[in-house]
Chain A
Amino acid sequence: MRSAIEGARLHYDMPERTRKLVRSSVRRAGRRPLFFRWDWRYLWIPLAATAVIILSILPFLGHWGAQDRLSQEIVDAHVRSLMPGHLTDVVSSDQHTVKPWFNGRLDFSPSVSDYASRGFPLSGGRMDYIGDRPVAVLVYQRRKHFINLFSWPSAGASTSAERTTVHNGFNVVHWIQNGMSYWAVSDVNQNDLQEFIGLLRGATH
């Protein structure tokens, strides 16, 4: 059968317009570093002006600066996910479908539970890219709101207390538990979010 199939010339050649489109698409993604759109030619002006200031306070920024950057990345990713078609890669309320979906896509296996009986049904999951690494995102729903739960293996501490902040109107909670770094983002009210996190933290013990 092999030679006959080959002989029938069934291989589809890539159209030139598609080739060009994909290449320019990748190049655009490569040129635009994550969340900024800068005109590199004029960058030297503000850089020179702020270089001295930054260098002098650099020793003090340390941990907190990194955390704030990460918070902003997380919130940006959350907002992007709320745009049509960007919320989930795997759509399922079944944890036995969502959990294995991450196999082969991540170098860790996120724990997945469904809390539909408590009013927080699982909507699905997706891959995302935060802090220079691929991360797992589980999407839960609370009435008409979505909660994005980001998780990845913690690079530093294996435990940390919960830290709650508000960014752009979204409630953001971060904690580290059992070596995994968790970030929950949502526009649900603080009470609901805390209830959800309580369920999560109980399940992963």
Chain B
Amino acid sequence: MEPQEKLERFERSVIPYMDAAYNLARWLARNDQDAQDIVQEAYLRAFRFFDGFRGGDNRAWLLRIVRNTFYTFLQRNRKEEAIATLDEELPVAESDSKRPDTLLLREADSELLRDAIEALSPEFREILVMRELEGLSYKEISSVAEVPLGTVMSRLARARQQLREMLAEGFGERGAAKRTARIRGV
């Protein structure tokens, strides 16, 4: 592809998904500056690999690159966080609260919900963000995260469960450290 044509095609088909890319990067990195670095790096990679892109779902292809860029970044810059185990196998304790979800969520303000989502491990958080904030289908998420459909659904269920737990038991100062520690498996 000619450089000019490549740039034009890239700007038409990949640039429009920058908002979705940033949102995912921001939720994964949990801060603005790192999210910016990750999106910039991801877009440069996407541009480099654009010739080899055989077409299909542009958004999923881009988000996969964003996600991979984040995990590479994690390995390089935040080794402790990268090593923390994903407690998919740990049983979930019964929540004491009998209050229904909708009530819990209505009471929780954005700040609380934001903190709770950030407390999830990246593998759970990214699925939740892609599903609830970006509206990707299970199939698209499976393609982006490179895991089977079943894993997507079970992680989503776990993520929602953990979120529910955190909100029900009061994700306040007292509970926060304990919550985060248990969920991170640290």
Contact = CB atoms under 8 A, between A and B. Distances in A.
B146 interface: yes
B52 A133 contact: yes
Given A4-B105, A11-B133, A12-B23, A30 B47 contact: yes
A18 B3 contact: no
For the residues of A in contact with B, the DSSP-based class is: mixed
A91 B72 CA distance: 9
Interface residues of A, number: 39
B18 A1 contact: no
B40 interface: yes
Interface stretch (B88-96, B106-114, B174-182): B106-114
A23 B27 CA distance: 21
Given A6-B132, A85-B76, A104-B146, A22 B40 contact: yes
B7 interface: yes
B77 to A, nearest CB: 10
B137 interface: no
A5 B72 contact: no
A25 interface: yes
B36 A18 contact: yes
A89 B110 contact: no
Interface residues of B, number: 46
A199 interface: no
Given A4-B106, A107-B52, A26 B27 contact: no
B100 to A, nearest CB: 11
A39 interface: no
A8 interface: yes
B26 to A, nearest CB: 4
A25 B40 contact: yes
A11 B23 contact: yes
B44 A25 contact: yes
B119 interface: no
Contacts of B160: 1
Contact of B40 (A5, A21, A85, A134): A21
Given A18-B39, A26-B43, A33 B3 contact: yes
Contacts of B35: 12, 18
Q: Which 8 A-B pairs have the closest CB atoms?
A: A30-B7, A4-B105, A14-B22, A12-B26, A8-B110, A5-B132, A18-B36, A134-B52
29 contacts: A1-B101, A1-B105, A1-B163, A4-B102, A4-B105, A8-B105, A8-B113, A10-B110, A10-B113, A11-B23, A11-B133, A14-B23, A18-B39, A19-B18, A21-B40, A22-B43, A26-B7, A26-B44, A27-B7, A29-B47, A30-B3, A30-B7, A33-B3, A85-B76, A89-B72, A90-B75, A105-B49, A133-B52, A134-B51
